[in-house]
Chain A
Amino acid sequence: MSGTAVDGLVEDYLGRLERAAWSLPEERRQDLLEGIGEHIASARAGGADDEQGVRELLRRLGSPEEIVAEAVGEEPAAGARPASLAREGWAVGLMTGGSLLPFLGWVAGVGLMWSSARWTVREKLLGTLVLPFGAAGGWYLATFVHAARAECGPQTRSTLGSGRGVTQVCEAGSVDGALLTGAAAWLVVSVAVAVVLWRRAGSRRGVVSALGGGDAADSPWTGLEITAIVLLSAGNFLFPVAAPLAGLVLAICSRAWRLWEKVVAGLLCLPPWVLIAVFFSRAGDVPGLPTGNEVLLLGFVSVFVLSGVAALFLGLRLRGRS
C-alpha cells in the first residue's frame, strides 16, 4: 500500500477529529489534536506504517466523536454561579437585528462578539464577514443600487418642470427582482450565521469561568452597559429620540450604576427634549424667536452633545470602578 493512501487515512481521521472538536475552546482543541497527532506519528514511526497497521491504530484510538465526547466531559462544570450569556446574546442580536440602528448597531454587536471568550477566532471572523450589517445589510445594498440606478438622464428634468404632481419621475429604478432576491438571501444567511454562533456560545456556557483570568463577571462592563453607552452616545445619529431613550432605559436596568448616576444621566438626556419640544411648538408664533428649522437644528446639536456627555459620564464612572 502506498504511503499516500495511509497518509490519507490519517488526514481523514484528524480532519474528522478537528471538525468534531469544533465545540471545544481553542486551546483544548489544539491540545487534543496535538496529542492524538503525536500518538499516531509515534506509532507510525514505531513500525505500524502499512495500511492495516494504521487502520488498527485508528480503531484502537476510537472514533473522533467518542474522543471529543470525553474531552467535553473533562471540561470543568459550568461553575458555581450560572454563567451568563448576556454578552453573547447582545452580540448576536445586535449583529443580526442591530441594523435597525443602521451600521452602528451592527458595529456594537461585532465589538461585543470580539470581546467574548466563547467564540473562536474563526467563528468571530465568520460572524464579522458573513454578512456585514446583519440581516438588513442586503436591503441597504439593494436600496443603494436601486437609488444609483434611479439617477436618471436629462429627460427627467424636463418632466419635472412640465408636470404637476409628477413625483415618480424615473422609471429606470423600478423594483428589481434580482435585488430583492439578493437581499432576502442576505437576510437568510445572516440569520443562519447568527443561529450557529448562538448555539456555539450556548455550548460553551462554562468557558468564561474555565478560562479563569479576566473573569467577565468581576468586571462591571457587560453587554448591557456597553450597549447602553453606545446607544446613548451614537444612537442619536440613527434614531434621534428612540435610541438614546433605549440606552437610558438599559442604563437604568443595569446594576452597575448607582441611583444618583442614573439620575444625572436621565437629567442630561431627557429635559432638553422637553424644552425643545415646547420651544419648537411656539416657534414662529413669537416674533424675534428663531424659526422652526433653526430650533430643530440647534436642538439636535445640543441634545447630541448632552446625551454624549451622559454616555461619557456613565462610561467614566464604570471605568473608575473596574
Chain B
Amino acid sequence: MEPGGARISQLRRGVLEFCVLSLLGDEELYGFELVRRLGEVDGMVTTEGTIYPLLSRLRRDGWVTSSWVESEAGPPRRYYALSEAGKGALASFTDEWVRFRDAVDALMLGERS
C-alpha cells in the first residue's frame, strides 16, 4: 500500500455510510443492487462484503429501515430505505461536506494553480 493509503481508507470509511444514505435517498434498494451502484464509482468500495456490516449498523442506528420483498428470480430480498432520522443525518452531513470539500480544494488545489 502506498504511503497515505491507510489514511485514504479511513477517510473513505468515514464518508461511505453517507454515500449509502445518499443512494438510498433516491430510491429503495436491496443489498446487491446497492453494492453494485457503489461499485460503479471508482475507488469507493474495495471489499464489497464490508457494506453489509455497515448496513446492519445503519439499521440499528435507525437511519435506515428494511423490509423483505419477494423477488421473481432468486430468494426474497431485503430492501433498504432511508428513515426520517437518516434523512436528517444525510442533510446535515451534506452541508458539512460541501464546506469541508471546498476548504480542502481551496487549500490544496488553489495553491498549485
Contacts and interface: CB of A to CB of B under 8 A. Distances in A.
A42 B75 contact: yes
B47 A62 contact: yes
B49 interface: yes
A7 to B, nearest CB: 14
A32 B73 contact: no
Contacts of A71: 52-53, 56
A278 interface: no
B6 to A, nearest CB: 14
Contact of A43 (B32, B57, B78): B32
Interface string B22-62: 00000000111101000100000011111011111100000
B30 A66 contact: no
Interface stretch (A33-41, A156-164, A266-274): A33-41
B32 A32 contact: no
B48 A61 contact: yes
* Chain B facing A: main interface SS: helix
A71 to B, nearest CB: 4
Contacts of B33: 42
B73 A70 contact: no
B110 interface: no
Interface residues of A, number: 25
A210 B54 CA distance: 16
A196 B24 CA distance: 41
A46 interface: yes
A42 B32 contact: yes
B48 A38 contact: no
Contact of A61 (B47, B74, B77): B47
A171 interface: no
Interface string A294-314: 000000000000000000000
Interface string A59-70: 011111011001
* For the complex of A and B, 7 pairs with smallest distance between CB atoms: A62-B47, A45-B74, A35-B52, A71-B53, A61-B49, A42-B32, A67-B49
